[in-house]
């Protein structure tokens, strides 16, 4: 098990290398640079700036330099936030995004699995149809439509919750962003749980358990263990979706998270900031994929032996 | 063996049966048929609608900014008087009387000095009035009685901050969104089907390498890449199409590979191989057509995802750029004006959400209809 985990961790290194290489050369090959301002800088100053940040060197040298720094854990200085390193910015933004993301993940899993189980247990019934409809609706409602609607309802009309801002992570500021972020994932997980659980409940061993007089709750607990495998398997894509969604949510609600820094960095052609956030996001997604595989292996012994 | 010809006509319809059965099941699925009808309606409206609304998508009416949606003809009484006062100020006159009778307005202008009749040209120049006609000049021209037709404009979904008709803009935006959805899906479809079929058919080490690449690509935060590309290379329609298509082919490749692996062991494929057909011919004639069901389902469900991704990019200002517009752009504009003009969000968002719901319902319906485990 530990050997398997280590092997998977080692496989993540080439993936990260692909991310770094792709984003590095994509950005550098594009026209424009971080010091293109409305009023062009005098050539001498520009030359100086480029030398300070090492942009005057040939691309391969810069690339190797970046890789070497990255291996030491140094993400470099930010170009647009003067006097701050990318690591500083990530240290500021990550707690915000992590709070949002983990709460949304928890909400999505709890509600998604709960509603999905409800639908599977009443297959073909009213609850099944209602959950199916809600799931389809939540999958078709983009976050950038949901967020303003929530803002109107709870912020402007009812005045229960603030419209946006972070305010040190006060709970009232978290409610709307977390709901917006979790909503499409609730639908996705509910559907997946329903399909998988409905299939499992029709299996012979579940019928046997029922025939032997096991209570509904016990049967459900047994069936869920197997039925949740597909849900665990999408943990990686789920993390990616939450990270992507956080870009919109942080923009709309004005939260100082990683997604916001990424967009700002990209718009300002802040090479190191964009690289840093992309590498971080890739690392997180890879980590979640890995965690999903490990949990799957724990739940399903066949997967352990298979590899 | 009484008649050698008899089994053949009996077998022919049975060969078509799975497809027929699926179509029959789809036709009985009221949700899916409704979704299909709604999609057709939206597509038709986007195609021909902009010619019928009576407004060009770029035409702005500065006097009719942020009108709420409604059936009433504009300008309504509450918009007419302020607009008249503004125009009269330009003509260096005052509105003494204004009386509306149907489509015409009887206007009495008054000023300290004689009103120059040429200044009446301000009236037709504004968006609200037609050619004026002078009925009477009184008090040496200091009092002017004018009759001017009032235009009757309709804005069913209201207007935006520049006074542009939101219905027309939503429909024109729909063209772009639907076009991107279909084209990018087509790109993903072609790449994914080709990749998956080749990988599944080749098998062995080739398959392992090709699928390992897909696994690596799966782990990449692709949307972030798309954003980086769009920001750094400038947002052109072609780039968005390419980027979205390049991101979304992975699922298709996996589905097609799984189908190919299953089909490859079937007798008719082995027979085709034994007959000496080339790999390409087998893929084209036997593998891909037999995997069409899951491909169609995946493609149908891909279209809403692509539209969502495009509107996501446009919402962040990284997608479709002015003067072109898409639902994402309009929703972004709407959410910025949410406090003063919530209908700017409501109109375009309804189009977007209705399309996404319909596509998802249709995809689910297709998946159900093509599921061989389901009873007919």
pLDDT per 10-residue tile (average), chain B, 376 residues? 46 54 74 82 81 72 69 68 73 71 72 71 70 72 73 71 76 84 86 84 79 75 75 74 79 82 79 80 77 78 82 78 79 76 78 84 78 52
Which of A36, A145, A243, A250 is best to mutate for the B interface (most B CBs within 10 A)? Answer: A145
- Report yes or no: B316 at the A interface, CB cutoff 8 Å: yes
Half-sphere exposure (CA, 13 Å, Cβ side) for A100?
34
Q: Are A177 and A162 in contact (CB under 8 A)?
A: no
Which chain A residues contact residue B223 at CB under 8 A? 240, 244, 247
Token pair listed for A294: 């490990």
Token pair listed for B109: 């202008």
pLDDT in tens, B212-249: 788 777 766 777 777 777 777 776 777 777 777 777 88
**Cis bond upstream, residue B259 (ω within 30):** no
The dihedrals phi and psi of B100, each to the nearest 5 degrees, come to -105, 130
* Among chain A residues, CA nearest to B31: A133
Q: How far is B71 from chain A (nearest CA, A)?
A: 24
Q: Are B128 and B150 in contact (CB under 8 A)?
A: yes
Of the candidates B225, B233, B357, the beta carbon closest to that of A23 is on: B225
Q: Please tell me the distance from the alpha carbon of residue A14 to that of residue A21, in angstroms, as a whole number.
A: 10
Strand partners, B134: B146
* Among chain B residues, CA nearest to A281: B221
Helix (H, G, I), strand (E, B) or coil at B155: coil
Segments of chain A scoring below 70 in pLDDT: 1, 31-34, 36-39, 169, 302-307
Token pair listed for A110: 């709890």
Which of A130, A142, A236 is best to mutate for the B interface (most B CBs within 10 A)? Answer: A142
pLDDT in tens, B85-108: 777 777 777 776 677 776 777 777
pLDDT in tens, B333-373: 877 777 777 777 777 888 888 888 888 888 877 777 776 55
Asked if A142 and B364 come within 8 Å (Cβ–Cβ), the reply is no
DSSP structure class, residue A167: G
Q: Please tell me the distance from the alpha carbon of residue B176 to that of residue A67, in angstroms, as a whole number.
A: 41
Rounded alpha-carbon distances, angstroms, from residue A153 to A161, B140, B158: 9, 59, 21
What local confidence, expressed as pLDDT, does residue B70 receive?
67
- Report yes or no: B361 at the A interface, CB cutoff 8 Å: yes
Token pair listed for B66: 């942020």
Token pair listed for B208: 């392992």
Tell me which of 1.10.3720.10, 1.10.3210.10, 3.30.9.10, 2.40.128.110 is the CATH number of domain A86-304.
1.10.3720.10
What local confidence, expressed as pLDDT, does residue B313 receive?
81
Asked if A244 and B339 come within 8 Å (Cβ–Cβ), the reply is no
Asked if A140 and B357 come within 8 Å (Cβ–Cβ), the reply is yes
* Among chain A residues, CA nearest to B362: A136
What local confidence, expressed as pLDDT, does residue A36 receive?
67
Tell me the DSSP string of B281-347.
HHIIIIIHHHTHHHHHHHHHHHHHHHHHHHHHHHHTTSSS-TTS--HHHHHHHHHHTTTT-THHHHH
Asked if B224 and A277 come within 8 Å (Cβ–Cβ), the reply is yes
**Dihedral sign (CA B43, B48, B54, B57):** positive
Residue pointed to by tokens 């019934």: A125
Q: Please tell me the distance from the alpha carbon of residue A25 to that of residue B232, in angstroms, as a whole number.
A: 11
Q: Please tell me the distance from the alpha carbon of residue B313 to that of residue A248, in angstroms, as a whole number.
A: 9
Give the per-residue SS3 of A82-134.
Answer: CCCEHHHHHHHHHHHHHHHHHHHHHHHHHHHHHHHHHHHHCCCCHHHHHHHHH
Of the candidates A252, A277, A280, A249, which has an alpha carbon nearest to the alpha carbon of residue A265? A277
Which chain A residues contact residue B332 at CB under 8 A? 144
Strand partners, B136: B145
Sequence-distant (≥ 6) Cβ neighbours of residue B159 within 8 angstroms: B61, B64, B65, B66, B67, B165, B166
Asked if B232 and A240 come within 8 Å (Cβ–Cβ), the reply is no
Helix (H, G, I), strand (E, B) or coil at A187: helix
The dihedrals phi and psi of B18, each to the nearest 5 degrees, come to -55, -45
The three-point CA angle A297-A301-A306 to 5° equals 80
**Dihedral sign (CA B176, B178, B181, B187):** negative
What local confidence, expressed as pLDDT, does residue A107 receive?
92
Mean of the per-residue pLDDT values for chain A?
81
Buried b (16+ CB within 10 A) or exposed e, A93-128: bbebbebbbebbbebbbebbbebbbbbbbeeeeeeb
* Start-to-end C-alpha separation, chain B: 32
Asked if A144 and B315 come within 8 Å (Cβ–Cβ), the reply is yes
Which chain B residues contact residue A242 at CB under 8 A? none
């Amino acid at each position: 098990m530990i050997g398997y985990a280590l092997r998977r961790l080692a496989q993540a290194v080439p993936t990260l290398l692909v991310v770094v290489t792709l984003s590095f050369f994509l950005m550098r090959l594009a026209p424009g640079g971080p010091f293109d301002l409305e009023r062009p800088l005098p050539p001498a100053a520009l030359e100086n700036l480029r030398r300070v940040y090492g942009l005057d060197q040939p691309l391969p040298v810069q690339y190797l330099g970046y890789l070497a720094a990255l291996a030491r854990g140094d993400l470099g200085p930010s170009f647009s936030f003067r006097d701050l390193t990318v690591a500083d910015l990530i240290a500021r933004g990550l707690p915000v995004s992590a709070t949002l993301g983990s709460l949304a993940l928890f909400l999505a899993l709890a509600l998604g699995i709960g509603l999905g189980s409800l639908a599977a247990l009443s297959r073909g019934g009213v609850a099944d149809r209602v959950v199916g409809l809600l799931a389809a609706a939540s999958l078709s409602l983009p976050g950038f439509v949901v967020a303003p609607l929530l803002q109107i309802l709870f912020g402007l009309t009812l005045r229960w919750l603030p419209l946006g801002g972070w305010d040190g992570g006060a709970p009232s500021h978290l409610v709307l962003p977390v709901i917006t972020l979790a909503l499409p994932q609730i639908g996705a997980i509910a559907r997946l749980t329903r399909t998988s659980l409905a299939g499992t409940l029709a299996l012979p061993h579940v019928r046997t358990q029922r025939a032997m007089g096991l209570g509904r709750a016990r049967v459900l607990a047994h069936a869920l263990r197997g039925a949740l495998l597909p849900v665990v398997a999408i943990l990686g894509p789920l993390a990616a979706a939450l990270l992507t969604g956080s870009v919109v949510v942080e923009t709309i609600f004005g939260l100082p998270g990683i997604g916001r820094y990424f967009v700002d960095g990209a718009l300002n052609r802040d090479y190191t900031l964009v690289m840093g956030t992309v590498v971080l996001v890739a690392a997180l997604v890879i980590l979640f994929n890995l965690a999903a595989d490990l949990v799957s292996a724990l739940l399903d012994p066949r997967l352990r032996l298979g590899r | 063996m009484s008649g050698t010809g008899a089994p053949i006509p009996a077998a022919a319809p049975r060969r078509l049966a799975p497809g027929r059965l699926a179509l029959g099941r789809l036709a009985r699925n009221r949700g899916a048929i409704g979704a299909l009808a709604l999609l057709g309606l939206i597509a038709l409206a986007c195609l021909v609608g902009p010619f019928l609304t009576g407004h060009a998508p770029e035409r702005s009416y500065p006097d009719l900014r942020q009108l709420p949606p409604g059936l009433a003809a504009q300008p309504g009484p509450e918009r007419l008087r302020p607009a008249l006062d503004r125009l009269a100020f330009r003509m260096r006159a005052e509105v003494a009387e204004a009386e509306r009778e149907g489509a015409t307005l009887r206007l009495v202008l008054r000023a300290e000095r004689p009103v120059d009749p040429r200044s009446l040209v301000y009236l037709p120049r504004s968006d609200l009035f037609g050619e004026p006609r002078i009925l009477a000049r009184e008090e040496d021209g200091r009092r002017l009685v004018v009759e001017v037709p009032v235009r009757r404009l309709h804005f069913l979904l209201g207007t935006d901050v520049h006074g542009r008709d939101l219905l027309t803009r939503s429909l024109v935006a729909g063209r772009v969104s639907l076009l991107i959805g279909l084209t990018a899906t087509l790109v993903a479809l072609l790449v994914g089907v080709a990749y998956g079929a080749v990988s599944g058919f080749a098998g062995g080490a080739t398959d392992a390498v090709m699928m390992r690449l897909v696994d690596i690509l799966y782990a990449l935060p692709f949307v972030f890449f798309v954003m980086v590309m769009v920001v750094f290379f400038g947002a052109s329609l072609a780039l968005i199409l390419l980027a979205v298509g390049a991101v979304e082919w992975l699922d298709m490749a996996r589905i097609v590979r799984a189908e190919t692996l299953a089909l490859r062991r079937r007798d008719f494929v082995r027979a085709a191989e034994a007959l000496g057909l080339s790999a390409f011919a087998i893929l084209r004639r036997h593998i891909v057509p037999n995997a069409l069901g899951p491909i169609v389902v995946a493609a149908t469900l891909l279209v809403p995802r692509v539209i969502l991704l495009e509107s996501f990019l446009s919402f962040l200002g990284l997608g479709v750029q002015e003067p072109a517009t898409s639902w994402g752009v309009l929703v972004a504009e709407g959410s910025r004006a949410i406090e003063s003009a919530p209908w700017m969000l409501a109109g375009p968002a309804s189009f977007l959400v209705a399309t996404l719901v319909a596509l998802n319902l249709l995809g689910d319906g297709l998946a159900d209809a093509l599921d061989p485990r389901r009873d007919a």
